Homo-oligomer: A and B are copies of this chain.
Amino acid sequence: MENFFDFLTHGIEQFVAYTAFPNMTVGHIIMITVGLIFIYLAISKEYEPLLLVPIGFGILIGNIPFLESAKLQIGIYEPGSVLNYLHFGVMKGIYPPLIFLGIGAMTDFSALLSNPKLMLLGAAAQVGIFGAYILALIIGFIPEHAAAIAIIGGADGPTAIFLASKLAPELICAIAISAYSYMALVPVIQPPIMKLLTNDKERRIRMKPPRSVSKTEKIMFPIVGLILTTFITPSALPLLGMLFFGNLLKESGVTKRLADTAKGALIDIVTILIGLTVGASTQATTFLTPESIGIFALGAASFVIATAGGVIFVKVMNLFLPEGKKINPLIGNAGVSAVPDSARVSQTIGLQYDQTNHLLMHAMGPNVAGVIGSAVAAGIMLSFFMG
């Protein structure tokens, strides 16, 4: 009997010890706040809600304090926990190519095909990646980490996660969060830079409406695109192979149901899992480190450099282009492939200076080219470090 009350008291002791309260740290509170901010921005400001809601809620889930020593298989870093199993696809870089499959199936490359020279803008914006690489080395990151961080400048969540999983597994989480955060903030980051670097005349440049694109061209693009880009950088195959595969499913016209699933149920499921686990992997005890702060600083820098790079490149091109063929530098930012947000930014800013000048269509070109560009950049870095 005495034994029993022993049990009760001990039980209560134990129960309390297992609740979140005694295990809570300042870090947990900070991260939970961050998670709530993500969710708020996603819902009320609608910044990339499909990414920020899962990530934000994932941050909450990942930062519920618990007695880690008790091996209750709760935490994402505890083998045997559900989150740990679902996180596998992030750690091994399996989810990103599947996301790319879906993106390929929902991306229309017509805008690009109707005016191929816009592809170069997609390349130009990748300067953000290499600029960030140099900065990362300067502030003291070792090269492989610097490379993994720099890719944030590619403005491509999946690409960033994929590269990080190969070069800097310990930084995946911070890199992914940083990449997605800035992608969501594109409408905030880019406008000032674009306005700063352009003059009124340039902002009013009109471009002639894109020409029609034939079905054949659209079918040939994923095929030629795959062979050409991966012949140059085979290490980009996992990403570009899937991207172009998805696009062929869409354009072939005979595999509609596969394309529908790839851009529907499949990408949704992977988005849910990648968002949730990336968010949950921000477990305060492992996430709040000086590195993480450095990574966020570099991420911001890379987006600024990329945007500026894209705009300036257009201005340089215009020096060589004849009147009437000049490009509006306000679409230069679109090489930052936060599809389709950066293209939308071009559209809004453009309208601010000419109510009838619609740049969206033209901006979509560099926008999708940027996806290819950053995948190629990731491929090169991979071959440099893993080769």
| A209 on interface, CB distance cutoff 8 Å | no
Distance from A385 Cβ to chain B, minimum over Cβ atoms (Å): 10
- Among B93, B219, B222, B272, the residue within 8 A (CB) of A82 is B93
Distance from A183 Cβ to chain B, minimum over Cβ atoms (Å): 16
Asked if A82 contacts B61 (CB within 8 A), the reply is: no
Q: Mark A191-229, 1 if CB is under 8 A from B, else 0.
A: 000000000000000000000000000010011001100
Asked if B272 contacts A18 (CB within 8 A), the reply is: no
Complex formed: what's the CA distance from A14 to B54 in Å?
41
A60: B residues at CB distance < 8 A: 223, 226-227
| A139 on interface, CB distance cutoff 8 Å | no
A143: B residues at CB distance < 8 A: none
Asked if B64 contacts A237 (CB within 8 A), the reply is: yes
Using a CB-CB cutoff of 8 Å, which residues 41-86 of chain A contact chain B? 42-43, 46, 49-50, 53-54, 57-58, 60-61, 64-67, 70-74, 80-83, 85-86
A260: B residues at CB distance < 8 A: 268
A222: B residues at CB distance < 8 A: 57
Using a CB-CB cutoff of 8 Å, which residues 330-387 of chain A contact chain B? 380, 382-384, 386-387
For the complex, would chain A's binding face be called helix, strand, loop or mixed by DSSP majority? helix
Complex formed: what's the CA distance from A253 to B15 in Å?
37
Asked if A252 contacts B49 (CB within 8 A), the reply is: yes
- Beyond A19-B233, A50-B254, A83-B238, 7 extra complex contacts between A and B, CB < 8 Å: A23-B234, A39-B248, A53-B255, A67-B234, A82-B94, A86-B94, A257-B268
Q: Which A residues have a C-beta under 8 Å from some C-beta of B?
A: 11, 14-15, 18-21, 23, 32, 36, 39, 42-43, 46, 49-50, 53-54, 57-58, 60-61, 64-67, 70-74, 80-83, 85-86, 92-94, 97, 101, 166, 219, 222-223, 226-227, 230-235, 237-238, 241, 244-245, 248-249, 252-255, 257-258, 260-262, 264-266, 268-269, 271-272, 276, 380, 382-384, 386-387
Q: A70-B386, A72-B387, A92-B80 are in contact. Are A64 and B231 (CB under 8 A)?
A: yes
Complex formed: what's the CA distance from A307 to B233 in Å?
47
Complex formed: what's the CA distance from A251 to B162 in Å?
31
- Among B254, B272, B386, the residue within 8 A (CB) of A42 is B254
A230: B residues at CB distance < 8 A: 20, 64
Q: A57-B245, A254-B46 are in contact. Are A383 and B272 (CB under 8 A)?
A: no
Q: A18-B387, A39-B223, A66-B235 are in contact. Are A261 and B272 (CB under 8 A)?
A: yes
Identify the 6 closest CB pairs spanning chains A and B, nearest first.
Answer: A261-B268, A49-B254, A66-B234, A265-B265, A20-B231, A61-B241
Complex formed: what's the CA distance from A257 to B239 in Å?
24
Residue of A66, A86, A101 with highest tally of chain B CB at under 10 A: A66
* Interface CB pairs A-B, < 8 A, 24: A14-B383, A15-B383, A18-B387, A20-B232, A39-B248, A42-B252, A53-B249, A53-B252, A57-B222, A57-B223, A57-B248, A60-B226, A60-B227, A64-B237, A65-B231, A65-B234, A72-B386, A82-B93, A82-B97, A249-B272, A261-B272, A264-B265, A266-B268, A266-B269
A383: B residues at CB distance < 8 A: 14-15, 18, 70, 72
Asked if A238 contacts B53 (CB within 8 A), the reply is: no
- Among B83, B92, B226, B262, the residue within 8 A (CB) of A61 is B226
Asked if A255 contacts B70 (CB within 8 A), the reply is: no
Asked if A53 contacts B382 (CB within 8 A), the reply is: no
- Among B11, B80, B257, the residue within 8 A (CB) of A50 is B257
